[in-house]
Amino acid sequence: KIPAIGSPARTQAILNRYRLNAKKSLGQNFLNDLGVLKEIVQVADISTADDVIEIGPGIGALTEQIAQSAHEVMAFEIDENLLPILDETLSPYDNIKVINQDFLQANLPKLIKENFDGQHRLKVVANLPYYVTKPILMDILKGNVNFDATVLMMQKEVAERISAKPGNRDYGALTVITQYLENVEIAINVSAQSFIPSPKVDSSVVKLTPKQKRNVVAYDEKAFFGFAHGCFMHRRKTLWNNLQGIFGKQPAVKVQIKADLKKLNINQSDRPEQLSVDQFVEMANQFHASGL
């Protein structure tokens, strides 16, 4: 029996055989730690009830582990040099489709319709290329596809930002937007030694599951995201300063902002990072209602 793709010996043999040099510019750090690979699949709770989208299969280490548990896998790989390798390494599996496309350019709804039967849960699992962590995260969050779970290996620093609590220095617009949409959990911390080549930063696996119930609902999601960004434009300044940056400094505007904040019991001298996600939504809705 051939050892798993992600076992250190097999990974090394594949890299040697194809004389493959990992491309830094494409964020190629291959996982060669079977323990971590299996843990990712466990965190994602993959079963034959799931169709899974993978971003960046690389040489197929994670893809193989997912395919052994999932119904079907669709994997987006931007690097065409990896296609012949994936062809070979994943040949034992008949439930994997590799698509040679930039995930950020892919027409996901269309591809999902073409490749999945719509009778299974939909999940995203990836060991992300770190140079595009944030665009990919935003793409998944804002996209027109609803995923039942998203499990992503990313830089620990980004994982800490999206899971931060109010008052934490990592708490920012990305935190507010992500936590408005999803429950965020850091599931595994992974050392750089679990990859070949080792990345320069520590990594974490984050699990996102859609929020089923919200205390307050934004009147318009896109506008709310823009509002959240505006509130953190100058994170060392007060909420009051940032709100004037968004709405202007005209006397009538200032009076309205003050009245709205009072109504919501929010202190204008607070710093943006002190406010809860619900408070950001309440503000966005209130300012919209009062015509700001």
The annotation status of 115 as a binding-site residue, yes or no, is no
Cα–Cα distance for residue pair 28/198, rounded to 1 Å: 10
Task: Check whether 267 is labelled as a binding-site residue.
Answer: no
Enumerate residues 6+ apart whose C-beta is below 8 A from 252: none
Our finding on whether 31 is near ligand SAM (CB under 6 A) is yes
Binding mask 131-150 for ligand SAM (x = CB under 6 A): -x------------------
The answer to whether 273 is a known ligand-binding residue is no
Q: For residue 108, state whether it binds ligand SAM (rule: CB under 6 A).
A: no
Closer CB to ligand SAM, 110 or 222, in the complex:
110
Q: How many CA atoms does the CB half-sphere of 8 hold within 13 Å? A: 7
77 is in an annotated binding site: yes
Q: Does 76 bind ligand SAM (CB under 6 A)?
A: yes
State both tokens at 13.
């043999």
Pick between residue 190 and residue 243 the one whose CB is nearest to ligand SAM: 190
Residue with Cβ nearer ligand SAM (72 or 77)? 77
* Cβ 91 to ligand SAM shortest distance, Å: 17
Phi-psi region of 219 (alpha: psi -120 to 50; beta: other; left: phi over 0): alpha
Q: In angstroms, rounded to a whole number, what is the distance separating the alpha carbons of residues 103 and 100?
A: 9
Find out whether 16 is annotated in a ligand binding site. Answer: no
Asked if residue 62 binds ligand SAM (CB under 6 A), the reply is yes
Tokens, residue 268: 């204008």
The correct pick among 129, 147, 184, 285 for binding ligand SAM (CB under 6 A) is: 129
Residue nearest to ligand SAM (CB): 56
Spatial distance between the Cα atoms of 58 and 85, rounded to a whole number of angstroms: 9
Q: Which residues pair with 52 in a beta bridge?
A: 73, 123
- Exposure string of 29-56, with b = 16+ CB inside 10 Å and e = fewer, is bbbbbbebbbbbbebbbbeeebbbbbbb
Token output for 160: 């800490």
Task: Decide: is 172 part of the binding site for ligand SAM (CB under 6 A).
Answer: no
Which 247-286 positions form the footprint of ligand SAM (CB under 6 A)? none
d(CA 268, CA 248): 15
Binding residues for S-adenosyl-L-methionine: 29, 31, 56, 77, 102, 127
Q: For binding to ligand SAM (CB under 6 A), which residues are involved? A: 26-31, 55-58, 61-62, 76-79, 82, 102-104, 127, 129, 132
